[in-house]
Amino acid sequence: MKKGGRKTCWVPKNNQSSSNSSASVEDQRSSCEPKNVSPCVGSETRGIPLVGSVSKWSGVVTPPNVSYKPFTPAGFQKASSSVDNLRFGDSAPAQVNYSSGGFQSPSSGELVQQTRHLTGDIDKICESSELAISGNKQDQASQERKDMSEYGAPFDICNVKAATVKLKPALHVKNREKRLENKRSSEGPYIKILRPGMVLLKHYISAADQVKIVEKCRTLGLGRGGFYQPSYGIGEGKLRLKMMCLGKNWDSQNSKYIDVSPADGAKTLSIPGEFHKWVDQAIRDSHDYLRTQSVRNIEETLPSMTPDICIVNFYSKTGRLGLHQDKDESKESLRRGLPVVSISIGDSAEFVYGDQRDLEKAEKVVLESGDVLIFGGSSRHIFHGVTTINAETAPKSLLEESNLRPGRLNLTFRQF
Ligand SMILES: O=C(O)CCC(=O)C(=O)O
Ligand SMILES: [Fe+2]
């Protein structure tokens, strides 16, 4: 398992998230690997923790408040069960029978025969379970996560429009909005090289396109595979953002990309076609700019890439993201320094970056609505994070047209 991957190297701000240190994340992660998967252990004692024994996780993982749905083998009907509420590690429910036609409360005379029947049933259950487990552990893991109640319904990044009477904003808010608006329109778009391979395109995405991006993300985010709050590990702390992944799903608990949403097991959503044009154009415009700056070896300094992953984060005003490297993409992609292209929409954010995982030594840049930040080449492995969301700094017109909630939407495109 790769250490120090995306979002695994947290630097707690003011020690608020010290329980989420990288050490504890790693510790928890290694203890989350399924161990000694042996579906038939329970059946040997006939007692019978049928479902509880299907997947054995090491002790600490037994989540106190998470219930799992039972695995019901094909061809078997659940006759009576309290398995729905069975938790791993709980003692077996008194009456759990899977019936393949009529096995119900036995009388004592029928007990031996029916125990044999039950043994047969259990063998079949075990066989099916083994098949399911060996067939695709990933499917089962996602199924288990899917059934966890902790993720809840997808998060809506927009406020639901309601017929409310809007209060007039206070004078200081109006003045700040005016100042920001003036700054945006007087500055217009421009490009800045922050360091070799790291380019900032200011005010790059038009106001109309920002609205389109919010609308598209909202629609996708409300469906299956939509926005959820990722966590470090089962029963561990949560990241301070909502996330939806397109193209491939980033699994925060194992720091790797998978093909289903860890929240609900849905097949990963595709990146909408129209998103590609902003990424392609931003890289092309950066190349043109580098040329004007007499940079040689443009492709080496900032390689081109075709994104097949888009991670969409939504930060509320208290959201943030600790210093980390994005290093769960393929070795080849990382070796070539294929860039991460990041689009910011909504409230501005203080984005920190540097060569070390050290906030004190990190540089800071404010990312505003419509800005695009690209880091590739020799900057691909920078540590970076978001320390602050600047409340009430989103363009007023964006909020009016898209109804985006207070906060910041960020899309990072990568090529696996
Ligand atoms: O929100 C941002 O600007 C950065 C997001 C990020 O680093 C990530 O998703 O890996
Ligand atoms: Fe990142």
How does pLDDT run along the chain (416 residues), one tens digit per residue?
444 455 433 333 333 333 333 333 322 222 222 233 232 222 222 122 222 222 222 222 223 333 333 222 232 233 333 222 222 222 222 232 322 332 233 344 343 333 333 333 433 333 344 334 344 555 554 444 444 446 788 999 999 876 556 667 777 777 877 888 787 777 889 999 999 999 999 999 999 999 999 999 999 999 999 999 999 887 889 999 999 999 999 999 999 999 999 999 999 999 999 999 999 999 999 999 999 999 999 999 999 999 999 999 999 999 999 999 999 999 999 999 999 999 999 999 999 999 999 999 999 999 999 999 999 999 999 999 999 999 999 999 999 999 999 999 999 999 99
Ligand 1 test: best mutation among 8, 311, 410, 413, most atoms within 8 Å of CB?
410
Q: Is 326 annotated as a binding residue?
A: yes
Which residues are CB-neighbours of 361 under 8 A, at least 6 positions away?
354, 355
Q: Does the beta carbon of 313 lie inside 6 Å of ligand 1? A: yes
pLDDT at 173: 74
As annotated, the residues of the chain forming the CATH 2.60.120.590 domain(s) are 171-414
Ligand 1 test: best mutation among 250, 256, 341, 342, most atoms within 8 Å of CB?
342
pLDDT at 162: 63
Q: Give the Å distance between the CA of 411 and the centre of ligand 1.
A: 8
Q: Is 347 annotated as a binding residue?
A: no
pLDDT at 150: 64
Atom of ligand 1 nearest to the CA of 315: 1
pLDDT at 31: 28
* CB crowding 236-257: b at 16 or more within 10 Å, else e: bbebbbbbbbbbbbbbbbbbeb
pLDDT at 247: 98
Q: Does the beta carbon of 242 lie inside 6 Å of ligand 1? A: no
Q: Give the Å distance between the CA of 265 and the centre of ligand 1.
A: 23
Q: Give the Å distance between the CA of 385 and the centre of ligand 1.
A: 6
Q: Is 384 annotated as a binding residue?
A: yes
pLDDT at 139: 53
pLDDT at 349: 98
Fold annotation for 171-414: Jelly Rolls (2.60.120)
pLDDT at 30: 27
